[in-house]
């Protein structure tokens, strides 16, 4: 059973930090838009992209953990 290298962990952490920044940016934009009327069809796509990328990242992380640790 091989272990995850430091470089792989750094890449995973950087990706999660990038997603957190995207989420914060989206929240800031949503707060500004909530003052105005918001078209719900465009908001649905934003949530789909954010949570889809988060889900994909979690899938890849789980896959890496399964491959390396056999979790």
Residues 12-38: tens digit of each pLDDT: 899 999 999 888 888 888 777 666 665
Q: Is residue 22 part of a domain?
A: yes
The tally of domains found in the chain comes to: 1
On whether the pTM is more than 0.75, the answer is no
Domain that holds residue 46: 6-69
Token pair recorded at residue 7: 């470089």
The C-alpha atoms of residue 54 and residue 20 are separated, in whole angstroms, by: 9
Could you list the beta-strand ranges (E) of 1-71. none
Q: Is residue 1 part of a domain?
A: no
Residue 67 · residue 3 · CB < 8 Å: no
Position 3 scores a pLDDT of 81
Percent of the chain with pLDDT over 70: 85
| pLDDT score for 37 | 63
């Amino acid at each position: 059973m091989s272990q995850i290298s430091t470089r792989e962990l750094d890449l995973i952490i950087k990706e999660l930090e990038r997603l957190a920044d995207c989420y914060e940016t989206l929240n800031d934009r949503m707060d500004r838009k909530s003052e105005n009327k918001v078209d719900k069809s465009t908001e649905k796509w934003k949530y789909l992209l954010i949570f889809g990328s988060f889900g994909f990242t979690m899938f890849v992380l789980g896959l890496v953990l399964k491959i390396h640790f056999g979790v």
